[in-house]
A and B are shown apart, each in its own frame.
Chain A
Amino acid sequence: MRIAIASGKGGTGKTTAAVALARVMGSCVLVDCDVEAPNAHLFLNPEVQNTQDAYVMIPEVDDGKCTGCGECSRVCQFNALAVLGKSVLVFNELCHGCGGCVLACEPKAITEGGRLIGTMQWGKAGDLDFYDAKLRIGEPMSPPLIKALKHQAELSEAENTILDCPPGTTCPMVEAVGGADYCILVTEPTPFGLHDLNMAYQTVQELGIPAGVILNRAGMGDDCIQNYCKANGIPILLEIPHSREIAEGYAAGKDILSSMPSLEDGFKKVINTISEGLNNG
């Protein structure tokens, strides 16, 4: 079972929920897919056992073999190649690594090189297999790194996976959520929480992934989330109270089950509800 934790809005409690769910599941894989600002490790203090650099393919051109036909430049949807006479200028930062130019090059002057996009690391945090990655500073594209990280995490033998996803509803979130059996959307009862929940829900619907909501900071704001979920038939899996205890624990780097142990049953129920729902089709 692969459960993605996403939100739309940042700061709603994705990592808080992901860490708590992983803890109640016991042995599972937790993948921190927020490669631009990974921070699940702060709650878990994992023992890192491996690190590995991640690359995207970039074209490397052998000027000796290039005939200047211009086919690579014509096929590139990202305008990353300029052919001037018999020399090719490659703009690596525009390249999306699709490999189209390699296929298009008849004289086989283009080979696959690599551009460093970030570094992945993994290890153990108690029973958990923990994975995260850091995007290289200055690198504009995070999805290839998220893809590489998820691929790496698939090598773990644990049966269940929790994907802690980046905020937003654009390519990084779509890449992180992709392939999940279920998506938990974490939100808060504010106009901002509702607005972004709506966008995130539409995104996961488009991806065909069943979804439910964890309502964090319940009790502040109003009933907008309950009303929205009712109107759209989205289950509210858990309500986490708006509480000073939790905020103080968070500020001290404690996970939510340490600051409020009574939530453990609630998180266990979330897992049971999802797995029963998936098993019953």
Chain B
Amino acid sequence: MLICISSQGPDLDSQVDPRFGRAAQFIIADTETGEAKAVDNKQNLQAAQGAGIQAAMTVANAGAKALLTGHCGPKAYVTLNKAGIEVYTGCNGTVAQAIEDYKAGKLQKAAGADVEGHW
């Protein structure tokens, strides 16, 4: 299964980016094979509004079924939910560690947004 992690850098050793919509990059990781690739989020860093919505579409288009991130705002959550993507907030540390925590079932699924937009 493909999962997405908001990341400050392009590889598994990068730190999880606590921001979702304006994360530096997204790492799309395959939980079965361990393969991972980075997807750029540059176009959203300067967006005046709606960065979370666009980021959610990027995650959906990459085929991910779960998102691991620090925080998630209301519009991003609605979009991810509509796309059938599970959201896990409160992640930190490295991307690799977040993936391990997810696989070990240590992460708690978010039932809604945990911050306001533009937090």
- Among A87-95, A122-130, A237-245, the stretch that binds chain B is A87-95
**B50 engages A84 (CB within 8 Å):** no
For the complex, give the distance between the alpha carbons of A109 and B47 in Å.
26
Q: How far is the CB of B10 from chain A (nearest CB, A)?
A: 24
Assuming the A-B contacts A73-B57, A82-B56, A82-B57, are A87 and B51 also in contact, with contact meaning beta carbons closer than 8 angstroms in the complex? no
**B49 engages A82 (CB within 8 Å):** no
For the complex, give the distance between the alpha carbons of A84 and B56 in Å.
9
**B79 engages A79 (CB within 8 Å):** no
Q: How far is the CB of B101 from chain A (nearest CB, A)?
A: 27
**Does B60 make an interface contact (CB < 8 A)?**
yes
Q: Which of A80, A83, A85, A87 contacts B50 (CB 8 A)?
A: A80
Q: How far is the CB of B4 from chain A (nearest CB, A)?
A: 15
**Does A192 make an interface contact (CB < 8 A)?**
no
Residue of A nearest to B74 (CB): A91
**Does A78 make an interface contact (CB < 8 A)?**
yes
Assuming the A-B contacts A73-B57, A84-B60, are A89 and B51 also in contact, with contact meaning beta carbons closer than 8 angstroms in the complex? no
For the complex, give the distance between the alpha carbons of A12 and B53 in Å.
41
Q: Which of A78, A80, A83 contacts B57 (CB 8 A)?
A: A83
Q: How far is the CB of A97 from chain B (nearest CB, A)?
A: 14
**Does B65 make an interface contact (CB < 8 A)?**
no
**A91 engages B53 (CB within 8 Å):** yes
**B79 engages A84 (CB within 8 Å):** yes
Assuming the A-B contacts A84-B57, A84-B60, A91-B75, are A79 and B50 also in contact, with contact meaning beta carbons closer than 8 angstroms in the complex? yes
Name B's interface SS. helix
**Does B82 make an interface contact (CB < 8 A)?**
yes
Q: How far is the CB of B83 from chain A (nearest CB, A)?
A: 5
Q: How far is the CB of B79 from chain A (nearest CB, A)?
A: 5
For the complex, give the distance between the alpha carbons of A84 and B82 in Å.
8
Assuming the A-B contacts A79-B54, A91-B53, A91-B75, are A84 and B47 also in contact, with contact meaning beta carbons closer than 8 angstroms in the complex? no
**B83 engages A94 (CB within 8 Å):** no
For the complex, give the distance between the alpha carbons of A91 and B82 in Å.
13
Contacts of B48 in A (CB 8 A): 78
For the complex, give the distance between the alpha carbons of A78 and B49 in Å.
6
Contacts of A85 in B (CB 8 A): 83
Contacts of A79 in B (CB 8 A): 47, 49-51, 53-54
Contacts of B78 in A (CB 8 A): 89
Q: How far is the CB of B41 from chain A (nearest CB, A)?
A: 13
For the complex, give the distance between the alpha carbons of A44 and B47 in Å.
44
For the complex, give the distance between the alpha carbons of A87 and B82 in Å.
9
Residue of A nearest to B76 (CB): A82
A residues whose Cβ falls under 8 Å from a Cβ of B: 73, 78-80, 82-85, 87, 89, 91, 94
New contact pairs (13) apart from A82-B54, A82-B57, A87-B82, CB-CB < 8 Å: A73-B57, A79-B47, A79-B53, A80-B50, A80-B53, A82-B53, A84-B57, A84-B60, A85-B83, A89-B78, A91-B50, A94-B49, A94-B50
Q: Closest 5 CB pairs between A and B?
A: A79-B50, A84-B83, A82-B79, A82-B53, A79-B53
